[in-house]
Amino acid sequence: MRLSGLKRTEIILCPPFTALFDISEILKGKPLGLGAQNMYYAPEGAFTGEISGKMLRSVGCQYVILGHSERRHIFGETDEMIQRKVSAALQYGLKPIICIGETLTQRQEDKTLDIVEEQLKAALASVTVEQIKDCIIAYEPVWAIGTGINATPQQAAEVHALIRQLLGQLYSPPIAAEITIQYGGSVKPENASALIQEPNIDGFLVGGASLKAEDFTQIALTVEKIKQIEEK
């Protein structure tokens, strides 16, 4: 496997629920993380079709994606619901990958920074100074996902800088500097290098490209190469 030698780049796989157990078995002894694509905030109860944090832990998950744009806009998840999910994930020892981002209409109305601030503060409303260290933030410009319209590295960097600044205000600048902020707007092998070189972009939340082994591998190797150069 070409990714087995990565030293500076962490990879987290987030397959569908039905594949979690099998993937967990395959990943035993390998330096890859396992996460789920969603979870419900209640630990147990009559919630047919939902998956709890306890269930995710039982199949070996260490991470969970919360607040993904599709969950927000297709399934109607609110900021309050996402906040409850973040709190529950941390309670069960899962590291939440918290997604935030604006729609095309919101960007056109120059509301990007307001929306990002609102979603971030809501998601982290009950997250303590100690807990934030286990959180990953993912910026998803909804208008750049599957639309053929890509955010420029500069547009992405502007929002990532705001997120870092907000984290510094909510916690402290030193803590904010240590938090991973991912970019998740149609990342491809063609734009990965330019994006990862921007300040405050620490990694990627890869969508469609993760379904193509060669594309995903190329993105990971690109990140590793840039991080290696930056160390020198």
Active-site position among 50, 68, 117, 158: 68
Comparing CA positions, the residue from 163, 12, 140 lying closest to residue 71 is: 140
User: How many alpha carbons fall within 13 Å on the CB side of residue 222?
Assistant: 20
Given the residues 10, 140, 178, 198, select the one marked as catalytic: 140
Q: Of the candidates 113, 115, 120, 80, which has an alpha carbon nearest to the alpha carbon of residue 99?
A: 120
Number of alpha carbons in the 13 Å side-chain half-sphere of residue 169: 10
Contacts of 1 (CB under 8 A, 6+ apart): none
Q: Hunting for tokens 């806009």 — which residue is that?
A: 73
**How far is it, in rounded angstroms, from Cα 76 to Cα 70?**
9
| 178 assigned to active site | no
Look up residue 208 and give its amino acid: G
Which residues fall within 8 angstroms of residue 152, CB to CB, at 6 or more apart? none
140 part of the active site? yes
Token pair 């009559």 is found at 46
Q: Answer for the pair 99, 138: CB distance below 8 angstroms, yes or no.
A: yes
**Could you tell me which residues come within 8 angstroms of residue 171 by beta carbon, excluding any fewer than 6 positions away?**
129, 132
Catalytic residues, by residue number, are: 68, 140
